[in-house]
Amino acid sequence: MKRAATLIPILLLLALPPARAAAEGAPEREPGLDWLAIPLMQFNDDSGFVYGLKLELIDFQPDRSPHAWNLELKLLHSTTNRHQHRASLDIPQIAGSPWRLSARAELLHIDDANFFGLGNDTPNTNDPLFHQFRLTEPRLKIIARRSLNEYLFVSLGLLANLTLVDATPGSALDALSPPGRDGGLGVGGLLSLGIDTRDDELVPTEGLFLELYARGNREALGSDFGFLALGLTAQLYARPLSWLVLAQRLMLERLSFAPPFYEQQRIGGTSDFIALGGVFSQRGFPEGRFAGRSKLLSNTELRASLPPLWQHLHLGLGAFLDLSRVLDHRDIIDGLHPSVGASLFINWDNAFVFRIEQGFSNEDSLFYIEGRYLF
């Protein structure tokens, strides 16, 4: 009943186009400043009902693609007292150069963050007092990306975060007391080399995205923990039929030296998120269900487009298979954690996408409504 009540306002919201400052009937990309305001409604079994607001100020110029600059503010709050507030700036061509600057300041607060332990064989008792803790984390990420040719790029980044941890007495985090049990300051950098041949960033149907990255924190810069993460993200999109897209993502990451536990719960380079388990990594398992120094994540999706309902509104159906593992020994195939599920996609004129999904694993069945494709 709770999920059905959540769906109703979201579906009503999707029947209305985003509010823009541009006058009706004006060209879609008229040069000059434009603004966008969208109320946000999401839901998943980890966060509960999520609501908020997205504001964008965009400067469109004919000689800059896709825009001269874009300033975005996103404010999110959930019924489980999660906060995720973010301000970001994107400048695709700094002073007409091939460098693209992306800067993001974010405040993350989770009252019920998960820690089950490190490795593949950690217990899930379904007792919140066992696996939950309070996490507060302001984060700063500044990325400069340079196009080397039409498809090849290199990225340099500055990363900083202050992680505050409050462990529940008697919890797994309290009992195991891993590195970072009391939080810490992290200052470091990112270097990545990639290829991007996708036909669209938001709604890709063909092409490849590949990124090799190294990121880490240095104690010499003031970090409480020094570590190095080496990783690979590969995303492949193919369209065997005009109405069908096959999407595949593979992620591998290895952390060295002394990573705190909360870094062992994350994966990714220029884009990173909590893993393994959750709305952005493996559906059907709780957020952060498996963590460790070396991680593997595979997501396979079939996305089928249905005939459009209206001029701008398109629906789609999907099926997915997610696989993950903490690579703690050589028995990889037999030890993979699988989950499967089905998706309903709601696409408004390729401007934004909602996905409504049910994921099933050997531990749980979890429901998600999120504002974009998984990848």
CB atoms within 10 A of CB 348: 18
Report angle CA 179, 180, 181 to the nearest 5 degrees: 95
Structure tokens at 150: 């039409």
Amino acid in the structure at residue 310: W
Domains annotated for the chain, with CATH where assigned, are 2-370 (2.40.160.50)
- Residue 23, CA distances (Å) to 20, 35, 166, 186, 364 in order: 8, 11, 49, 46, 48
Structure tokens at 301: 């999706």
Whole-number Å distance between alpha carbons of 101 and 33:
19
Which residues lie closer than 8 Å to 125 by C-beta, 6 or more apart? 131
Whole-number Å distance between alpha carbons of 111 and 166:
9
pLDDT tens by residue, the chain, 375 residues: 445 444 544 444 444 444 443 333 334 567 888 898 989 889 999 999 999 999 999 998 877 777 889 999 999 999 999 999 999 999 998 877 889 999 999 999 999 999 999 999 999 988 888 999 999 999 999 999 999 999 999 999 999 999 999 999 999 999 999 999 999 999 999 999 999 999 998 899 999 999 999 999 999 999 999 999 999 999 999 999 999 999 999 999 999 999 999 999 999 999 999 999 999 999 999 999 999 999 999 999 999 999 888 888 899 999 999 999 999 766 666 789 999 999 999 998 877 888 999 999 999 999 999 989 999
Under 8 Å between Cβ of 287 and 260: no
Closest by CA to 241, choosing from 188, 176, 316, is 316
The 8-class DSSP code of residue 18 comes to: P
